[in-house]
Amino acid sequence: MTTERAQEKRQFGHRARLTLTPAQVRLVDAQAHAARATWNLLHDFWTMTPKCRRFLKAADEAIRQARKEIDWFGVLPAQAAQAVLKTYHQAWKSCWEGRADEPNFKARLRTVMSVDVPQGRDLQIKRVHRRWGMVNIPKVGRIRFRWTKDLPVGKHAGNDNRITGARLVKDALGWHIAFRVQTLDAAAGPHPGPEVGIDIGINIPLALSDGNHHDHGRPSRLPDSTSDRDKWLNPDEKARLLRLERRAAYRKSFRKRGEKTSRRLQITYNQIKRLRATATRRATDWQHQTTTRLARTYGVIVVEKLDIPNMVKSAKGTITAPGKNVAQKSGLNRSISQEAWGRTVTMLTYKTARHGGTLHRVPAPNTSLRCSACGFITPGSRRDQATFVCENPDCGWSGNADHNAARNVLHLYRMGHALIPAAGRAVVRRPRGVKPATAR
C-alpha cells in the first residue's frame, strides 16, 4: 500500500551568469542607472513633500510623465520602474516596523547596479543545449546565460511550477540574472539521519561532534597574504593580486588630495575587485556544497547561538580608556567576517527544513572551556587555538579544541537546553526612531 505525500509550495532563487555583447552591456547599464535615478527621485519626493501630501499615486504619475519626456529615463521599462516604486515603499514599511534603517540616497559608485524584471512571462526562457540557455530582457533582447540548474520552463512549467520574475545584478565579474522560482514539491518526511553538534570556528570552519570535520582545504592564515580572502586564490592569482595592489599604491601616490581618480587607477581597482569577487564566489560555493551535504546526512543539527556583531567589535576603546591588543583583535575580526558564520547558519536553516531535518541553537557560553568528557570547566584547559587538555586530575581528556566544543554543543541539546528553533524565531522590533547598536 502506498501513500501520497503532501505537496508544498517552495520559492527559491537561482543565479546564473549572463553573456552580453558590448551593445547589450551599454543598454543594461543605462537601465540600471535609470533605475537608480528613479529611486533617488522618489527619495527626494518623499523627504521634501509634507506628510499630508505623500501619495504613491502622485509619484507614479510623475514617473510616467518623466519616462515620456526624458530620453535616458525612458530606457527603463515601465514594469521595472513600477518595481522600483514598490521596493521603495517596502523599504519604508520595513523601517516603520523596526526591521531596517531609513532608505538612503543611492550614490553612483557605492550602489550595486540592478534592474528588476517583475513579470516572469516577459523572460521567455528557452534552453539552447546542455550548458546554455536564452532569456529575453525587455528593451535589450535575447541574452545567453549559463544553464547550471533545471528550471521550470516549456512543458515543465505550469501554475505551480514557474518562474515568477528575475533581477539583473552587476558585480565585479559582470552581469548575472537571479531568477525567482516557484515550484510545487512533495513535502519532505522526517529525516532518519543522526544528531550532530557543530562548532563554527576559524582553524576548522565546521567541526562536527562525530569527528567528520569539514575544512575548505586551505590554510586559515598565509604569511604572504594581506587578507583572509586570499586563501581562496591560487598562487598565480595571489601573485597577480600583490602586483595589482602595488601598482594601485604607486599610481595613487601621484593623486593630489581632492583630485578625481585617474582612469588608469580605476582600471587597476576594477582588476583587484574582480580577483576579490572570485575569492568570495569560491567561498560561497564551498558553503553551499558543505551545508547541502550536512543537511542530507544529518536529521538534527545543533549550533551555537552566537552574537556575531558583538564578536567583531573593535578593541580600540576611547581616548581616556584605550584598548589593548588592537591589532590582534582586528585580525581576528577580519577572520570571523571572512568565514561568514551567519551565512552558514542561514543556509543550514532552510536546507535542513527542505530535507526534513531540524536545526536547533544552544547557548554559547563555556562550550569551548568545558570538558566534553567530565564537564569540568577551567580557563587553562584551552591551551591554544587547537588543543584542549582537561585539568581535572580524575579525567585528563585531551583532543582538538573545536571537536571538544562540538561535543558540548550536542550535549547541551540532549540535556534540553535548546533555544527557540531558528526557523520559528520571533523578529525583535526596535521602537521607532531608535537606531541599531551596530552600523550597517
**Is the entire prediction scored with pTM above 0.95?**
no
- Going by pLDDT thresholds of 50, 70 and 90, the confidence category of residue 227 is low
Given a contact cutoff of 8 angstroms between Cβ atoms, the answer to whether 419 and 360 are in contact is yes
Q: Which range among 101-110, 276-285, 318-327, 415-424 shows the weakest confidence by mean pLDDT? A: 415-424
Higher pLDDT, 346 or 430: 346
Q: What is the pLDDT of residues 291-328, one digit of tens each?
A: 999 999 999 999 998 888 877 777 776 667 777 777 77
- The model's pLDDT over 172-193, given as tens digits with 9 standing for 90+, comes to 999 999 999 998 888 888 888 8
Tell me the pLDDT of the chain averaged across its residues.
84
Lowest mean per-residue pLDDT among 37-46, 64-73, 109-118, 308-317: 308-317
Q: How far is CA 166 from CA 16, 138, 139, 177, 371, in A?
A: 11, 12, 15, 7, 50
Report DSSP letters for 299-365, one per residue.
SEEEEEE--HHHHT----B-SSSB-SSHHHHHHHHHHHHHHTHHHHHHHHHHHHHHTT-EEEEEE-T
Handedness of CA 429, 434, 438, 440 (dihedral sign): positive
Confidence at 438, pLDDT banded by 50, 70, 90 = very low
pLDDT at residue 35, as a whole number:
93
CA distance to 46, 99, 168, per residue, from 432 (Å): 18, 10, 33
Half-sphere exposure (Cβ direction) of 141: Cα atoms closer than 13 Å: 8
pLDDT greater than 70 at residue 431: no
pLDDT of 21 above 50 = yes
State the pLDDT confidence band at 156, using cuts at 50, 70 and 90: confident
**Cell 533617488, residue located:** 40
Chain position carrying cell 514617473: 63
The pLDDT, as a whole number, for residue 433 is 43
How far is Cα 43 from Cα 62, in angstroms, rounded to an integer? Answer: 13
When pLDDT is cut at 50, 70 and 90, the band that residue 368 belongs to is confident
Query: Is the pLDDT at 428 greater than 70, yes or no?
Result: no
Sign, CA torsion 89/91/96/99: positive
**DSSP single-letter state for residue 369:** T
Quickly state the pLDDT bin for 229 (edges 50, 70, 90).
Answer: low
Label residue 267 by pLDDT band (50, 70, 90): very high
Residue closest to 357 by CA, chosen among 204, 215, 121, 193:
193
